[in-house]
Amino acid sequence: MSTNNSSTEQLNKNTSPTPGTAWVVAVQESLVTIEVRDVPIRKNEVGYICVGNERLMAEVLRIQGNTADMQVFEDTSGVRVGDPVDLTGELLSVSLGPGILAQVFDGLEKPLEVIAKAHGFFLPRGVDVAPLNREKKWTFTPCVAIGDKLVAGQPLGTVPEGPFKHKIMVPFDEANEVEVTWIYEGSATIDSPIARIRTADGKERQLTMVQRWPVRRPIPEPMIRRRIAERLYPQEPLTTTLRIIDTFFPIARGGTGCIPGPFGAGKTVLQSLIARYSTIDITIIVACGERAGEVVETITEYPEMKDPKTGGSLMDRTVIICNTSSMPVAARESSIYTGMTLGEYYRQMGYNVLVIADSTSRWAQAMRETSGRMEEIPGEEAFPAYLDSSIKNVYERAGVIKCPDGSIGSLTMIGTVSPAGGNFEEPVTQATLATVKTFLGLSYDRAYKRYYPAIDPLISWSRYLEQLKKWFEANLESGWVDSVSAMQELLERGDSIYQMMQVTGEEGVSIEDFVTWQKSMLLDMVYLQQDAFDEVDVSMPRDRQLESFRLLRGLIQREFTFTEKEQVRDFFTRLTGVYKNFNYSPFNSQEYSRYMKEIKDLVAQHSIAAA
């Protein structure tokens, strides 16, 4: 025992750093405790654990006196007591500039493709690669002149980035008005000077195309307080071209939504359809916890997938952020904040951005793991007591803003939740439901019956249907919200009748109730369900949705002349088949018109009006 103690004391004596530095005093998996001497330190500051020639990136989570707990973003094997720690003084930040689009980053904005080409697919730890290409030249076109007075977030000029104009803006950390003293025009790298400004205190500052911003600090907040940017109320829905969402459970552009559901209910396919066909400019997918196979599918399929808007690759307007297998589970948290910061950056340019986080359950589990190691007082199911506020802080970064140059940008946030066993009562789902305004609950029963998208209309809801009532009635038709509510009531009545038939059989319900149930089934089969593998039915624009909804509403409101339930069943079976063919027909084509006539003729044969 004495020999071991002497060895430990000698080790600490040999490895203790000189005054004015920091060093490791304890290691617990990915959580490292350090001691600091004569240097300032703050929460969320980045530091590097020095292990030989390797520098392991970490973030300060908690400070207690002269010690601090740091979350290390890489494997901590070989980290020992006494290892030096290099504190940078910078908060966990990302680089914002041209070259972000069409990239695959890890949660710290490291370009995975660049690292893979240099080091292979088994990524070594301690590798530090610039997130943006430092050698590529961009054509900078100024939009200001010498002497112009600007504020943070106002554009100095633009460079082309894929199908977009990437605005190079006055850094967001400028609190006061600045004056342009020099502006460049021509080709330059992101590190080349493109402008000089004079700040309020008279100092000159040279600007490049790239700036750094802390991921945990929302970009618009300092500008909102100084009335430079303005947060607006969402004024219109996000058109997804999915009938059940656009009609029954809309999401506002600049709003929030969540998609909880059990394994196999179709979350991945649903979020892929939303990303591909929605009325947004840029998509940011944060794969912060799903299985590796699904992440690989996303990375490989998006470059090959055709963008329905531009005809090019869908990846041209997409950013994918995912964790590598070498990163500890607790590092998932950084992915969410990185994705939101990149989304806010493009929103500042006046673009409509969609952030999809898949899945926030894994992110919450990572917080639970870290909280447990820090021995914090646990909340429900051992999640940290601040789980609810953490979820709210992320979703509240969504919204619509009026930018300093007058353009309007939006950031829509949709998070998928993976509750264990499909239990929507667990803390992560409940905290999310208390925050978002659209709940698209996926049902295992509907997925088992091949009802896709498997959004259960009886448990899902949207507060935007009433909130955006003026838009719906001005752009679709008067009384739209009431019509949708009536259809929802039909689904509920139909389900009640079906539950009764499960007990009494068909003989236990009247023919009128049987017709009501068949009408609700028709609405479900031909409108709520949509074929993701049919090139026509996969995406239905709003004008076609409106026409289909009116047609379906008209025949549902009809009264029929049935005398037997078998007659009812035969009629609705035939009607469902014709209506599905109608959905598969290109809009306003000959087949479209022919099937519409067949539907109307079939309904007229059995309606009281025809009799």
How many C-beta atoms lie closer than 10 Å to residue 590's C-beta?
9
Residues 6+ apart with CB under 8 A from 231: 220, 224, 399, 400, 401, 402
How many C-beta atoms lie closer than 10 Å to residue 159's C-beta?
22
262 known member of a binding site: yes
Q: What secondary structure letter does DSSP report for 384? A: B
265 known member of a binding site: yes
How many C-beta atoms lie closer than 10 Å to residue 362's C-beta?
23
User: What is the distance between the alpha carbons of residues 552 and 601, in angstroms, rounded to a whole number?
Assistant: 14
User: What is the distance between the alpha carbons of residues 437 and 423, in angstroms, rounded to a whole number?
Assistant: 20
Mapping DSSP to helix (H, G, I), strand (E, B) and coil, where does residue 331 land?
Answer: helix
266 known member of a binding site: yes
**Paired tokens of 269:** 């396919």
CA 171, 174, 175, 176 dihedral sign is negative
Residues 6+ apart with CB under 8 A from 322: 104, 105, 106, 107, 112, 286, 287, 288, 295, 298, 299, 335
User: What is the distance between the alpha carbons of residues 159 and 157, in angstroms, rounded to a whole number?
Assistant: 7
**Paired tokens of 132:** 């943006």
263 known member of a binding site: yes
- The number of residues making up the chain comes to 611
**Paired tokens of 452:** 């896709």
User: What is the distance between the alpha carbons of residues 11 and 610, in angstroms, rounded to a whole number?
Assistant: 96
268 known member of a binding site: yes
Rg (CA), the chain: 28
560 known member of a binding site: no
- What does residue 341 show for φ and ψ, rounded to 5 degrees? -65, -45
Concatenate the DSSP letters of all residues of 103-168 into one string: -EE-TT--BHHHHHHHH-SSPPTT----SS-SS--EEEEE---TT-EE-TT-EEEEEEETTEEEEE
User: What is the distance between the alpha carbons of residues 526 and 572, in angstroms, rounded to a whole number?
Assistant: 11
Residues 6+ apart with CB under 8 A from 502: none
User: What is the distance between the alpha carbons of residues 79 and 50, in angstroms, rounded to a whole number?
Assistant: 8
**Paired tokens of 378:** 């646990």
**Nearest to 209, CA basis, from 171, 153, 177:** 171
Binding residue ranges: 261-268
Binding residue ranges for ATP: 261-268
